[in-house]
């Protein structure tokens, strides 16, 4: 009887350790666009993604480390610790818009993003880079350089890449909050639909 109980105990421990080994983490590094700004957290695109993955990819845990108002410098300052703590298999980087809105030099933004990408790769995490756009009143040259910055990084590091996460949302008042910068409740699922076609194949690569 004792041996039988011992067998089942060992089996349960083995199954538990196996589940731990197969579990993976997706880390989201973003700003207010990924932090469900001015909405209940469960209404944001990251939470919507988490709900969907709980059915299709139950082995994946999402850690949303997004902070409203975050810049690339702020994200970089937190990134090493987050990588060490969560050991993600994938990282979504959605940062830079606040740099541009504050008029920061784009070389600084690019360098910070490069550092995060390289740190993620050193930690064996695959990266999905989310691009963005800023209002045209910041000047044609600056806005174009900002938009192209993400494409350049994606090509240089061969990253999965979404050129504009707010495609079909940003210019639709019915999907945006009154500030004209953040998606509302109805816009969040559209943002997710822009991201999923690029994210899902990335998740499948590691299966």
Contacts of 158 (CB under 8 A, 6+ apart): none
Give counts: helices (H), strands (E), the chain: 7, 5
Q: Which of 47, 66, 99, 182 is catalytic?
A: 182
Q: Which of 31, 32, 66, 89 is catalytic?
A: 32
The answer to whether residue 57 is catalytic is no
The upper half-sphere exposure of residue 180, i.e. CA atoms within 13 Å in the direction of its Cβ, equals 4
Token couple for 75 = 């994200």
The answer to whether residue 89 is catalytic is no
Q: Which residues pair with 90 in a beta bridge?
A: 26, 126
Q: Which of 22, 56, 84, 179 is catalytic?
A: 179
Token couple for 135 = 């209002």
CB-CB contact of 98 with 138 (8 Å): no
- Helix H or strand E encompassing 36: none
- Helix H or strand E encompassing 100: helix 97-101
Q: Which residues are catalytic?
A: 32, 179, 182
């Amino acid at each position: 009887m004792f041996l039988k109980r011992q067998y089942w105990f060992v089996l349960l421990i083995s199954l538990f350790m196996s589940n731990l080994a197969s579990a993976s983490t997706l880390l989201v590094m973003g700003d207010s666009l990924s932090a469900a700004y001015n909405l209940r957290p469960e209404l944001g695109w990251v939470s919507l993604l988490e709900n969907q993955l709980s059915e299709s990819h139950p082995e994946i845990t999402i850690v949303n480390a997004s902070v409203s108002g975050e810049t690339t410098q702020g994200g970089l300052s937190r990134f090493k610790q987050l990588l060490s703590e969560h050991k993600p298999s994938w990282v979504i980087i959605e940062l830079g818009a606040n740099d541009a809105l504050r008029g920061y030099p784009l070389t600084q933004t690019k360098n910070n993003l490069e550092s995060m990408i390289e740190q993620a790769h050193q930690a064996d995490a695959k990266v999905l880079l989310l691009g963005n756009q800023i209002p045209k009143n910041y000047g044609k040259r600056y806005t174009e350089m900002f938009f192209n910055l993400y494409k350049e990084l994606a090509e240089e590091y061969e990253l999965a890449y979404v050129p504009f996460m707010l495609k079909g949302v940003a210019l639709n008042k019915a999907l945006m909050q009154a500030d004209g910068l953040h998606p509302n409740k109805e816009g969040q699922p559209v943002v997710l639909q822009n991201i999923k076609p690029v994210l899902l194949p990335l998740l499948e690569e590691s299966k």
